[in-house]
Amino acid sequence: MNRDALIARLSTVVGIPVVPYDETGAIDHPLLADLIRRLVDRGVTALTPNGNTGEFYALSPEERRAVLKTVTDAAAGSAVIIGGVGLDIATAVADARFARDAGADAIMIHQPVLPYLSPEGWVDYNLAIAAAVPEIGVVPYLSTPIVTGRQIARLIDGAPNVVALKYSVPDPVVFATTRSEVAEHTASEVLWIAGLAESYAPAYWQGGARAFTSGLVNVVPEKSLAMLAALQRGDAGGAEELWRSIRQFEYLRARDRSADNVSVVKEAMQQLGLCRREVRPPSAPLTAAARDEVRESIAEWATAGAPVGAGA
């Protein structure tokens, strides 16, 4: 692993691809491959199969591995692949090693879902998984403010293959403070990825993030890439204009504590002729009224679909 080169490749829009299902409810792997090629062809160069937008917790172990393999093969070396892993340590380690052997460049470790999360336990959890795959990069996912910069620094010093942090606490001040605290306790540099997508990307960019995740790329990757370009060139006005153009869509995804996050993305994709709208529990289909809201939010994107699969 070339640490600096991997950080440079991750300093971009990190797309989280959806998993399309066929009419029987099974994963539609040929369509998934088509959707991945669509993203790569449109300029997305970093992908996280088995992320939250990919319904990680609704997939079986066999399905997660099949998704990872389909995405990696379809990207064909044109995108850096960060395979999502998680759950108990043994499961995460097994999936991490599978991702490594399948050609992934890194893994993203989901934050543990246990109701009782200790900050030091979070460090030990990530250390154990990172130690199992020293050959590839590791990107821990953090969405709680109880893990401080001091603990993150201990993780970074204990696992040289931790190359980035996906930081998803919805507070730009906490983010900036945590990042500063990390710098006080370790000399090692990591990439900070704004894990709350385009909605928070401008604010987190000010605090030092140099990448952001995106579910929006599944629908209209041009918007996400244009926001990245605006942030990189310091064009605050351009970034704000793009933020306003996606605000309603992202609001629908975030509403009710993100209950319909994936459902909104898939509904938009169905309306654009990209894939079916079906999701698995614990997500749920949108109501007719919510589908109309999605239609209104993407009205200006009607030409962005470039259909590759099932239509509306």
- 130-158 pLDDT, tens digit per residue, is 999 999 999 999 999 999 999 999 999 99
pLDDT at 309: 41
Per residue in 247-305, pLDDT (tens digit) is 999 999 999 999 999 999 999 999 999 999 999 999 999 999 999 999 999 999 876 54
Active site residue 141: yes
Ramachandran category for residue 236: left, alpha or beta (phi over 0 → left; psi -120 to 50 → alpha) = alpha
Catalytic residue among 21, 69, 166, 204: 166
State yes or no: is 166 an active-site residue: yes
pLDDT at residue number 306: 47
pLDDT of amino acid 70: 98
* pLDDT of 161 over the 70 cut: yes
Strands (E), the chain: 13-15, 46-47, 80-85, 106-109, 137-142, 164-167, 191-194, 211-214
- pTM here is 0.95
Can you tell me whether residue 233 is helix, strand or coil?
Answer: coil
The active-site residue out of 21, 125, 141, 200 is 141
Could you give the 3-state DSSP secondary structure of residue 268? helix
> How is residue 242 written in tokens?
């793009």
Q: pLDDT band at residue 73, thresholds of 50, 70 and 90?
A: very high
- Residue 93 CB neighbours (<10 A): 18
Segment 35-53, tens digit of pLDDT? 999 999 999 999 999 999 9
